[in-house]
Structures are given as structure tokens and as C-alpha cells.
Amino acid sequence: MKGSQAIIKSLTDEGVDVVFGYPGGVLLPLYDVIYDSDLKHILVRHEQCAAHAADGYARASGKVGVCIGTSGPGATNLVTGIATAYMDSAPIVALAGQVGTSLIGNDAFQEVDTIGMTMPISKHNYQAMDSSEIPQIIRSSFYIARTGRPGPVVVDLPKDVQEGELDYPENITIDLPGYKPTKKGHPLQVKKAAEMILNSKKPVILAGGGVIHSDSSEELQHVSELIGAPVTTTLMGKGCFPEDHSLSLGMLGMHGRVASNMIVDECDCLIAVGCRFSDRTTGDVSKFAPNAKIIHIDVDPAEIGKNVAVDLPIVGDAKIILSHLVRVISQTKGQGKPDWVDYVKSFRASCMPRLSFDDTPLKPQQVIKEISEAVTDDTIVTTDVGQNQMWMAHYFTSRNPRKFISSGGLGTMGFGFPAAMGAKVAMPDNDVVAVCGDGGFLMVCQDLATVKEYDIPVVVCVLDNRYLGMVAQWQKLFYDERISQTKLKAMPDFVKLAEAFGVNAYRVERPGEMKEKLQEALKSGEPTLIDVMIDPNEILPMVPPGCGLTEIVGEYKVERENPSEITYRPSAQETGGD
Amino acid sequence: MDEQRSHIISALVMHRPGVLQRVAGLFTRRGFNIDSITVGPSEQDGLARMTIISRGDDKVLEQITKQLNKIIEVIKVRDLNADGTVTRELCLIKTHTPSERARSEIMQYANIFRGRIVDVGPENLTLEITGTPEKIDALIDILRGFGIKEIARTGPTAISRGSKTM
């Protein structure tokens, strides 16, 4: 068979049923096979959206997402999406066309060094130099993308390699002597961790995206309830623990909940699972969890000790390690910490953020409250990057894993909408809502044509304040309110813009309308845009860069005005400790 | 912990195009220091051995080792302990020596350092010397007085002492 046929056969054998792509000159052989293949191809309107859609597909389903772009500009347009997936450990395989092998290095038309370019932003990459290599390369790419710490893999496919003949092997063996991810945690380390937890008085769990990748939400909740440890999450971990659970503290970090930041500051044992202690999560590391012994569970040994000094590392798969931890701890008496749990619960209640505002223009808190009311536990929400993202991360209550999708590490504006498109394709039975800002959405609005053409019924909520809000917020707080290039003076009428693509659209301006229109849009089963006019002056309280997590600036509006001061008073039994 | 030390990192890698770029790119991207890097075939077919000399404190070294291990085409990484390691470098030195007397002096120094003259011209001599980087530095220092035209050094390569392998 031909190389191009082998590519499609390999994809099908990996269980791929849909790819997001954009054709081009060197991809003609591949697209000629796609023409009458069973593989569903979704033609995006910009390669960056293909990569983000594959990413959203992967994060929502846990399967590997696939995107395709041609050589040169096709590949450079994929780059942002590949880097986004890399930073957030999303498993995608990106297929890039390349000029014929005889032309490589000649600066041929639409030639770019895709391998060199994607080396630092992919888990691995391959250039097929002979058609016979295709089956093995694609099999290995999927294996690398989804195992260990997941990540993107790039496959560079020169045109003549797609055209060449090969005998498709019956058995493909994966031969990767340099790649053996550790799964099972070291039993002695697990035992030590159990002892450390049992000897602590004020344990807290910090859960990251690794909990979602390893599908260990149940195990996490089990550990939390067993030892009486409240759970805070990173942005990537949001949803891995139900945020309406009485032990949930919400997100930690620069834009974290007050309860999270304060309780982490106070805890004496921090159990970090599947997170990488990013600067946005820790604030100034020298002031991070100053009283705590830190246990770090992660599948990637390089994350241990990279950003924060760790007292007890356990390398391996979170699911295996957490269930092992449950077994060890269950055998011991007195594992609960009722006084700590009571204290955490009342402290948490004292600083729940206020969500209800009847102001016009709309407060983002009110908008997010109405979004929360309009969606179900099965709804997948994606966010863009900036204030819209942090408002969602801060105020939206997420209850299930893989239901909150956001570009955390790279912080890619324009991610939310195409990621929602990919998520909806992966999970057609779940409602999918993208919450974007006006700036970020405008970067990818051309893909309204894609959701229209393929009838992908996502609902895009554009939080419209005519500002690049997050940067403007920093200018207001730290640069003497010098609003430099962050006011979007001319913007399209988003309702008309959507209508120009044949997509339904509404405008929302007053309290109550968001919930109503969102429900209507979800019910319609058609792609819809909702332009939400919000207050441009709303600022989310934050921890300034270089500060500790407790040094929050900005007015934090709480739900209930301050009750009497809450302090941790352990009973005699709990102070007895070990 | 914060003490900056020189480390000899030995890595067994797949002998494929692009591996050197992956390794070198990793050092640049993560801001790791790289003093020298040598690559050549190893005892096993299809595998090459890289010897990297890097400086940093213990934390940096730990990151270098771990990050190198993450590269799919890197099979094994070891930080070689300087005491238990044989380190050698090869150096070629071309001197500008029109005078007869200088030539005979240089040949004597070459003997003392167990070097060899590998090329002679009417106005130049080229020496080959093998040894530890310190020994090579010492010979270069001496020869500077005579006028060095060119130096080509391979950078150190290393192997652990005794029967143990990595």
C-alpha cells in the first residue's frame, strides 16, 4: 500500500475516528486517501484551531486527539496548539506535511524545520524518511502521547514518503528502550507518606491535572475523607474533586480562593498529587506552605524538586499510589482529624466569595453564577485566557473531572472556542460551553464557520468588556493605571458577526438573562454565540507576582459579612498527635 | 547545596540524527551550563555515548539528569564521580616556529608531556597531546611563549574506573 494509506490505516488501528485538519500542497497524497476513507475529517479554518480542537478532544475524552497541518505555514500555525498541549500534558498527535525528502534543506516552497521547531514543545517528534517507517512511527507516537506524563507528539511526513509503497507489517512492536515510565510508587515511600500524614495535625491535599490524567478522582476523594484533609486544586486540577464538597477549598494560587491560600499557608502537611508547583500556583516559593512537610506524588520524576523542595517524593501513577495509600492508612487507627476538619469548614464558610450582584452592566460574578445554574454536572466548560478564565476558575463550581478545560501553562488566548469544538466532537452527548473574552475569541472567530458546517452545537459566551482585561488589570494595579494598548476601541458587533457565519446569537445585558439565554441555546442543539456585556471595571483580587499566597490585593467580596474570628483549636485528643 | 561544581555526565543515546540537537537544545532552553560535549559510537550497535561537562549546584545537576532522562532517545544517564573516572581529551596545537632552537625546545616539551609531533612545515610544528584537560592546559601555557597559531581540542570524554559499567 502507499504511505498515505498506511497513515490512515495506522490512525484507524489506533481507534481514531475523527481528525481536525487543513490540507495543503504536500498533503495532497494524504488528503486523496481521506477523500474516500471512513475517517471523519473536520476542516477547521485555521491550523491553530485544529491543534486546540485535538487538545480539547483529548482533555474531554482522555483519548488521543489528532490534528493535521501542511508543511511550512501549516506547521508553524500548529505550533501554538502543540505548545499549549505540551504545557498542560494533553495527549495529541500532530501530523505535519513536509516537502519531499530530496528538497529538505533547500529552502523549498513551504519548507520549514518542523522537527527543530517542535523539539522543545513536544514530548517527542518523528520525521518519517521512508514509507516503511510509517506504521511503527504512528504506533509509537500514540503510545508516547498517552502513556506516562501525556503530551503531544509530532510526526513530520514528507510528500514522497506519503507516496511511496510499503508492505504494512502484521505485527508492529514498539521498541523504545529509552522510554519506560514508572507506574507503581515505591512501597517504602508510600509507607513513609502514610506515617507523615498520620503524624500531621493539619493536612491539606493539593491536586493537579495529573489526578485527571490518571483518572484517580475517586481515590483522591477517598484519601481526603479518610484522613480529614481539605482539597485545593491547581487550575489544571479543577473538577478532579467536587467543589461543592465540604472539604473542597477551591483553586489555589495567584487568583486562588482566599480559603485555599490561607489554609495552605497554615497546613503542616501538604500532599501534592499530579501537579508541578507552577509559579501561578505557589506565589513566592520561599513563602509557600511555610509550615508544611511536602509529599509530592507525580509520574514525572523531573517535576520532583524542580520548583519546590519536597520532603517525600513518590514517583508513579497517581491512581496506583493513592489506592495504595488508602490501603496503608486504612489499617491504622485514628487517621481522621475532626477538629481540623471543623475548623477548615467554618473558615471556608467565612470567606466564600459573593456571587450575586444585580448591577448593570453585569458583574462577571453574576454571569458565572447564572452559567452555573444553567448547566448540569455533565456539561463541559472551556475557558479562554485572561480575566474570563480566572473568573471561571475562581467562581465557577466544577464537580467532575474532564469538565473544566483551560489553557493553564501556556495561557493561550484563543484556546477556549476551538477546544470546546473538539470537546463537543469527542463527547456529543454532553453540553459544551466556551467562556471567552472578547479579545481571545476574536483571534479564532473564523472557526464559527467550522461549527456551522459540521453542526457542532457549542455555546460560546463572550464576556465582552472591550478590554484585554487581565493585562489592563495589571496596568491598573501595578502600572499607575496607564492603560497601554489594552483598550479595544473598535470591535465587531459579535451578534452580527455570528449571524454572518449563519450561527445563532444573542446579546445579554441584564441580570437573569444569561441563565435564560444559555438554557435556550443549549436546548436548541445548535451552535450559538452569546455576547455578554460585562462591567469593564471589575477586578479579581490577586496575589501580586513575587508575593506569598496570603498577600492578596484588591477587595475580596465575600458572601456573608464577617462573623466572629475563626481559629483552629485542637482538642486534647488531636494535640496528643502521634 | 549551592556549591557550583563541574560534573561529568555520561549518556547512552540512540545513534540517530537529531539526538545531539535534542540534548543541546535542552541545555539551552533550561539555562543549563555546557562546557563541552563529545559524541561517538558506543560498544553497542545503534547506540552512541555522549560525554557532557557541565557546571552547577546539586539541584541543577539533578534537573539535568532528570531532564536528559525524559528525552525518549536517551537510554541511560550517569553523573560520573570525578575520582572514580578516567577522563581524557585530545588536543592538536599548531605553533609558529621559524627558529631551529624553538623547534627543538618544543620537541623536548612534547616529550615531557608525552605528546607527538604530527606535522612539520618550514615555519610550523603541530603537536598532538592526549590527557586530562589540566595537563593539556599546562602544555598550552608553556607553548604560548613560542606563538600558537591554532588549537583544536576535542573536549573531554570519560569512562568509569574498574569493572563496573553504567
Whether B165 is in a domain gets the answer no
User: How does DSSP classify residue A361?
Assistant: S
CATH number at residue B67: 3.30.70.260
**Residue B1 clears pLDDT 60, i.e. is over it:** no
What are the chain A neighbours of B25 within 8 Å (beta carbons)? Answer: 119-120
Of A115, A178, A300, the CB nearest to B74: A178
- Is A329 in the same domain as A372? no
Which ipTM was obtained for this model? 0.91
* Residue A506, domain extent: 364-533
CB contact at 8 A, A96 and A157: yes
- Helix then strand count (H, E) for chain B reads 4, 9
Residue closest to A421 by CA, chosen among A385, A450, A389: A450
Residue that the C-alpha cell 478564565 belongs to: A389
Nearest chain B residue to A301 by CA distance is B66
Cβ proximity of B119 and B126 under 8 Å: yes
Q: Is A115 in Cβ contact with B18 (below 8 Å)?
A: yes
A153 and A24 both lie in a single domain: yes
User: What average pLDDT does range A4-8 have in this prediction?
Assistant: 98
Are A322 and A216 in contact by the 8 Å Cβ rule? The answer is: yes
Which of A351, A382, A408 delimits the end of a domain?
A351
Residue B149 maps to which CATH number?
A: 3.30.70.1150
Q: Do the Cβ atoms of B72 and A144 come within 8 Å?
A: yes
Query: Residue B166 is placed in which grid cell?
Result: 553504567
- Interface test with chain A among B66, B74, B77, by most A beta carbons within 10 Å: B66
Distance CA A468, CA A490 (A): 13
Q: Do A305 and B18 touch (CB under 8 A)?
A: no
Neighbour-count burial for A65-104, b at 16+ CB within 10 Å, e otherwise: bbbbbbbbebbbbbbbbbbbbbbbbbbbbbbbbbbbbebb
- Give kind and range of the element (H or E) at residue A295: strand A293-298
Instruction: Examine the domain organization and report whether B74 and B94 are in the same domain.
Output: no
CA separation for the pair A283, A261 (Å, rounded): 10
Give the range of the structural domain holding residue B15, as residue numbers without chain letter. Answer: 5-80
CATH number of the CATH domain containing A512: 3.40.50.970
Hey, what amino acid is at A323? S
Three cell numbers, residue A515: 441563565
- A282/A429 same-domain check: no
* DSSP conformational letter for A561: -
Dist CA A53 CA A19 (whole Å): 9
Do the domain assignments include residue B166? no
Number of inter-chain CB pairs under 8 A, A vs B = 37
Q: Select from A116, A124, A304 the Cβ nearest to the Cβ of B72.
A: A124
Query: Is residue A146 located within the same domain as residue A200?
Result: no
> Percent of chain A, pLDDT > 90?
93
pLDDT at residue A575 greater than cutoff 60: no
Element (H, E) at A195: helix A187-199
Q: What is the pLDDT, as a whole number, of residue A566?
A: 73
Hey, are the CB atoms on A176 and B29 less than 8 Å from each other? Answer: no
Answer whether B79's CB lies under 8 Å from B23's CB.
Answer: no
Percent of chain A with pLDDT over 70: 97
* Closest chain B C-alpha to A315 CA, distance in angstroms: 12
Judgement on whether residues B96 and B58 belong to the same structural domain of the protein: no
User: What is the average per-residue pLDDT within A279-289?
Assistant: 95
**Does B90 share its domain with B150?**
yes
Name the DSSP letter for residue A508: E
Residues of B in contact with A306 (CB under 8 A): 63
Q: What's the confidence (pLDDT) of residue B165?
A: 83
Q: Are residues A199 and A267 in the same domain?
A: yes
Q: List chain A residues with CB under 8 Å of B70.
A: 300, 302
| A405: its cell numbers | 478545560
Calpha distance A504→A512 (Å, rounded): 20
Total of domains in chain A: 3
pLDDT digits (tens, 9 = 90+) for A52-96: 999 999 999 999 999 999 999 999 999 999 999 999 999 999 999
Chain A CB contacts of B71 below 8 Å: 178
For the stretch B65-97, pLDDT in tens is: 999 999 999 999 999 987 889 999 999 999 988
Summarize pLDDT for A259-273 with one digit per residue, the tens. 999 999 999 999 999
**Residues near A311 by Cβ (< 8 Å), separated by ≥ 6?**
A196, A293, A294, A295
Contacting B with CB below 8 Å, chain A residues are 115-116, 119-120, 123-124, 127, 144, 176-179, 300-302, 304-306
Q: To the nearest whole number, what is the mean pLDDT of chain B?
A: 93
Alpha helix positions (H), A228-351: 258-266, 279-282, 318-330, 338-350
**Same domain for B11 and B76?**
yes
Residues A302, B69: C-beta atoms closer than 8 Å: yes
Nearest of A566, A378, A364 to residue A473 by alpha carbon: A364
pLDDT digits (tens, 9 = 90+) for A356-397: 999 999 999 999 999 999 999 999 999 999 999 999 999 999
A346 and A387 housed in the same domain:
no
- CA B1, CA B33: separation in Å to the nearest integer? 17
Rg value, chain A, Cα: 24
Mean pLDDT to the nearest integer, A117-123: 97
Contacts of A327 (CB under 8 A, 6+ apart): none
pLDDT at A440: 98
Task: With respect to residue A398, please indicate whether it lies within any of the assigned structural domains.
Answer: yes
Among candidates A119, A176, A304 on the partner chain, residue whose Cβ is nearest the Cβ of B22 = A119
> What would the pLDDT profile of A451-486 be if each residue is shown by its tens digit?
999 999 999 999 999 999 999 999 999 999 999 999
pLDDT reported for residue A555: 83
Could you give the residue numbers annotated as active site of A? 47, 109-110, 159, 470
Q: Distance between CA atoms of B140 and B148, rounded to whole angstroms?
A: 8
pLDDT tens digits along B108-121 = 999 999 999 999 99
